[in-house]
Every structure is written in C-alpha cells, then in structure tokens.
C-alpha cells in the first residue's frame, strides 16, 4: 500500500491484520521535507516556539539552548514512557504504527522523512514495540503509550518480534535498522496524537460490523426456532419509521429468512398474538446499533485524514521562518472518546437482546420447546448454565459501557485542565465486542439446538448457517463439556466466516417465504403486530 493522504478502514485492516506492506508516496515525502524545513529555520533563530525550543506542558516558557535540543527530545520520550498494565495486543500496536506514520505524512508535524520511514520499517517487519495498555488520559493525545512506541525508534525499551520479546536495540540490529537520534520537535510529534484510541476504535469498528451481521443472523435463527413471525420485518412495517439502520437490518433479516418452510406452517392456529420484543423489535434495536456504527465510521474517516500533532506547521504561510507554527488542540481525544462511548452502548445492546432471545429458547413456558433444549431434563441440565454465562457477560458490559468521556482529571499543573479519557473508553469497547461475540455464540448454539426440533427447513440463510454450525457442534443428546464448542463458534463469529456462509446463499425471487408474507399480510391485522 502507498501511504498518502487517504486511508480507509479496509486498507487499515489489510495492513494491521493481514500484513500488507506500506511505503510512503513521493508526494508524502515532499510534504514531510517541506514542513521540516520550517523547523530547521526556527532552530537557527532565537524565537521561542513551543515544543521546538521550549520545555513542555507547564514548562512551556522555559527556552532551551540549541545545543540541548536533541537531549530535550530524548528526555521527553524516556520521561513520558511510564505506562503500566499488560502489553497491548500486536494488532493494536501495528495500528498505532500505521496511524502515526499516516498523520506525520500529511506534512504538518515537522519531522524528518527517516523518522516516518523507521515507523513503517518496523510495521513491515512485524516488529512491535511493547506498549503497556494503561497510562493515557487522552488529552495531549495518548502520550504515555506513544512514548513507549517511540522508545523502540531510539533503541530503548523492548520489541516483540517473531514471537519473542527482546531489547529494542537487538531487534533493530537484527533487522539492519539504526535507532534514530531525535532532533528538534520530533519527539513531541511522535507522542502528541490519538493513535492508541484510533487503532482500538478502528479494530473494534471493523469487528462490530461483522458482529452486527452475525447478530441479525442469530436473531433470524431464533425467530425460526421459536416459530416467530416474519411480518414485523417487512418493508411496509419498518418503512413507517424508516431509520436507516432499521431499514437495513430488516432487509438482512428478510434475506436470511427467505424460503422458510417454517413460516407458512404457523400462519394460523398457533395461539400467539404477538412475539416478544427481542424477536419482533430486532430491526429497531439492532438498527440503532447500525446507525451508531455508521456514525463511528464517519468520525474514524475524519480521524484517519487528520493531523493530531501540536504545534502544527503551516509551510505555506507567509512568515519569517518560512512558515507558521501554531499551537492548537487537535491532539484532544474528545471527538473519538464520545464516539467510542456511544459505540460501547450500541454494541453492548446487541448482547443484551441476544441474551433475552436465548431465554426465549430455553424457557419452556415461552418456547414450547423442551426445557433448556435437552430431551431428558433433570438427568441433563442442557443449556441452562450457558444462559448464566451469557447473563454474566451482559452484566459486565453494563459496567464497561459507562461513559468514560464524562470523566476528566487535570494534568500538568492544570495546564492540561480537561482530558477525554478516550483510551479508557477504547479499551472498554474492545472488551465489550469480545463479550458480545461470546454471547452471540451461546445464542447460536441454542438456536441450532432449537432448530433440531423442527421438521421443516428454515430460511435459506438460516439453514445454511445451521448446517455449518452442525458441522462442528453436534446435537446435544445428553450433557457434555461444550465450552470448546462455544469458543469455536466465537472464532467463526470473529472471523466473519459464519456470516459469509449465511450471506452466500441466494435468496431467490419466488420463495415460500414471500408467499408466507402474503399469507400473513392477509391475516387478521390484530395478529402479532
């Protein structure tokens, strides 16, 4: 991939998860060099410019002698690299390397080309600086985590390479790379940014899109196993309140359910007036999550194309230094933090309603199916405790979904007097996504068992997913150790493979499901609305 002005989420994933190599475009090199020339002119003069020849934060008014500027940048990195906690996953670090290089390549930060090239060299080699997860307050960017990233560039700290954690200097030497000696402004440019938040959000957003599609599939499977009505998903119903997410979710549900033999079998005489909310309100509940995901995508697209450094370099401005240097607030994480908090709630709700659908399957008073979906209740517990686990994860998500962005603790002697806590929110979002993957795995396992008691074929997408699940999760005749099966289902959800299987089945044009829809449309309008 050629790194220039634009970076999409799809490109990000190809690099971060699939190892696509990255190199700077010629235009990016020129932008970087032009901005660097402004810094060089400042260094040769005696004007105090924050971050170039002054101290940082509360020390902004302390001017530094030109002979000490390299030491200033070194001191900045080593003093700020004071994060704690478990190391961030490799994919998160890869995202940080890519996004930091992307932002610097836009030509408003004043670093040298070799600094950006070293970031990309580590990324392309699969050499990942060890970055503790905790320590960012998300105001002047993710200072502590990015300082740990910068440590690797100057040959300090540790780097994970080929499955081993080793001193950074040793790994750089093995790769034939030389540590960089940071010059004026470069250390500050490396750590003033939102790249931890951005990397976590990008990965979670990609996974949330897959999660939403899988949640729609799980809902469709449960609707079939529970003899639920398809009528609430029809376009005329949802069209009376046409939020974009609701419309899209309803469309996907109809595709998964197309061709159902189950729907026509209970058009009359099943004694139901209407289904539970967790079944008939799926377009509205899942649709709200769809809308939140779409908004997060818009925010992330802006962030990918942004310069989050401070101060900013404007090489084209008329100024004695050959360009203007401006202190601003582009490093502040609030746009991401608020977006991430909203996405936390939206994704958590997919788990909340999924757990309720699992209860609809397991509770014989609601389902009409064997209690806990076991043929020999009493001797066997069936999926009883699977619902406990689901409930535990949903409850945990309620704590994690509490907005982090409403908190602020002033730092740097009240110079940085409002912070975003966006990194907290982003780490919580990652945990919520993983929890919901497990919650959906439990629903899918139960829905497949529920479909085992059906004698008719489900909708085409549902049937394909059911048969795929049955290829590695056998029918439950008697109690067994099925945690490995839940974990395997979670892997199929996370990879998107289960969703691809269900979506690969063409819906057709004249199916029993559409006939069933017409039949339900002709029924007494008091039924199940």
| Helix axes of 9-16 and 195-225: crossing angle, nearest 10 degrees | 100
How many Cα atoms within 13 Å fall on the side-chain side of residue 338? 6
The residues, any chain, with a CB within 8 Å of residue 392's CB and separated by 6 or more, are none
- Looking up tokens 């979506």 gives 503
Reduced DSSP (H G I as helix, E B as strand, rest coil) percent helix, strand, coil of the chain, to 5: 60, 5, 35
The residues, any chain, with a CB within 8 Å of residue 494's CB and separated by 6 or more, are 207, 210, 437
d(CA 211, CA 433): 8
Burial (0-12, 13-18, 19+ Cβ within 10 Å), 465: buried
Is 74 a residue of the active site? no
The active-site residue out of 50, 161, 227, 466 is 50
For residue 12, what is the enclosing H or E element? helix 9-16
| Helix axes of 460-470 and 422-452: crossing angle, nearest 10 degrees | 90
Let me know: does 233 contact 253? Beta carbons within 8 Å.
Answer: yes
Residue 459, phi then psi, degrees to nearest 5:
-55, 155
d(CA 191, CA 104): 11
d(CA 419, CA 423): 11
Q: Where are the beta strands (DSSP E) in 42-120?
A: 84-87
Give the pairing type, strands 2-3 and 23-24: parallel
- Looking up tokens 């500027």 gives 69
- Backbone φ/ψ region at 19: left (φ over 0), alpha (ψ -120 to 50), beta: left
DSSP 254-285: HHHHTT-SHHHHTSSSS--S---HHHHTHHHH
The residues that are catalytic are: 50
């Amino acid at each position: 991939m050629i790194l220039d002005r634009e970076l999409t989420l799809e490109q990000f994933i190809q690099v971060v998860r699939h190892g696509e190599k990255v190199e700077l475009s010629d235009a990016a090199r020129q932008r970087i060099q032009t901005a660097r020339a402004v810094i060089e002119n400042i260094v040769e003069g005696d004007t105090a410019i924050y971050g170039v020849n002054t101290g940082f934060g509360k020390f902004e008014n302390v001017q530094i002698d030109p002979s000490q500027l390299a030491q200033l940048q070194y001191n900045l990195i080593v003093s700020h690299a004071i994060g704690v906690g478990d190391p961030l996953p490799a994919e998160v670090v890869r995202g940080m390397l890519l996004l930091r290089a992307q932002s610097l390549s836009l030509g408003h930060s004043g670093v040298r080309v070799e600094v950006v090239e070293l970031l990309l060299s580590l990324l392309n080699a699969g050499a990942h600086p060890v970055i503790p997860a905790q320590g960012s307050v998300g105001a002047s960017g993710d200072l502590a985590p990015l300082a740990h990233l910068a440590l690797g560039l100057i040959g300090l700290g540790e780097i994970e390479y080929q499955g081993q954690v080793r001193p950074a200097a040793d790994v750089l030497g093995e790769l034939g790379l030389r540590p960089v000696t940071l010059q004026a402004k470069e250390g500050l440019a490396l750590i003033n940014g939102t790249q931890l938040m951005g990397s976590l959000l990008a990965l979670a957003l990609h996974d949330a899109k897959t999660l939403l599609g899988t949640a729609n599939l799980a809902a469709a499977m449960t609707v079939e196993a529970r003899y639920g009505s398809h009528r609430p998903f029809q376009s005329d119903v949802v069209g009376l309140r046409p939020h974009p997410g609701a419309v899209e979710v309803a469309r996907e549900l109809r595709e998964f359910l197309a061709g159902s033999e189950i729907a026509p079998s209970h058009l009359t005489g099943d004694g139901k007036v209407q289904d539970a909310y967790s079944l008939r309100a799926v377009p509205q509940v899942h649709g709200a999550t769809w809308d939140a995901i779409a908004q997060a995508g818009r925010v992330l697209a802006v962030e990918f194309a942004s310069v989050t450094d401070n101060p900013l370099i404007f090489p084209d401005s008329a100024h004695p230094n050959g360009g203007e240097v401006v202190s601003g607030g582009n490093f502040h994480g609030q746009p991401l933090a608020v977006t991430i908090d909203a996405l936390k709630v939206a994704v958590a709700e997919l788990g909340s309603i999924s757990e309720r659908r699992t209860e609809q399957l397991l509770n014989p008073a609601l389902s009409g199916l064997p209690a806990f979906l076991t043929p020999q209740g009493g001797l066997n517990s069936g999926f009883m405790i699977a619902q406990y686990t689901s409930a535990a994860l949903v409850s945990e998500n309620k704590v994690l979904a509490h907005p982090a962005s409403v908190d602020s603790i002033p730092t740097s002697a009240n110079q940085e007097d409002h912070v975003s806590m966006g990194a907290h929110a982003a780490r919580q979002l990652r945990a919520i996504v993983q929890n919901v993957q497990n919650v959906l795995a439990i629903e899918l396992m139960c829905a497949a068992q529920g479909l085992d008691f059906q004698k008719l074929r489900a909708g085409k997408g549902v049937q394909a997913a059911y048969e795929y699940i049955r290829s590695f999760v056998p029918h439950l005749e008697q109690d067994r150790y099925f945690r490995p099966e839940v974990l395997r289902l979670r892997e199929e959800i996370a990879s998107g493979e289960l969703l691809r299987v269900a979506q690969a089945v063409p819906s057709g044009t004249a199916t029993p499901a559409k006939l069933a829809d017409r039949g339900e449309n002709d029924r007494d309008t008091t039924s199940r609305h």
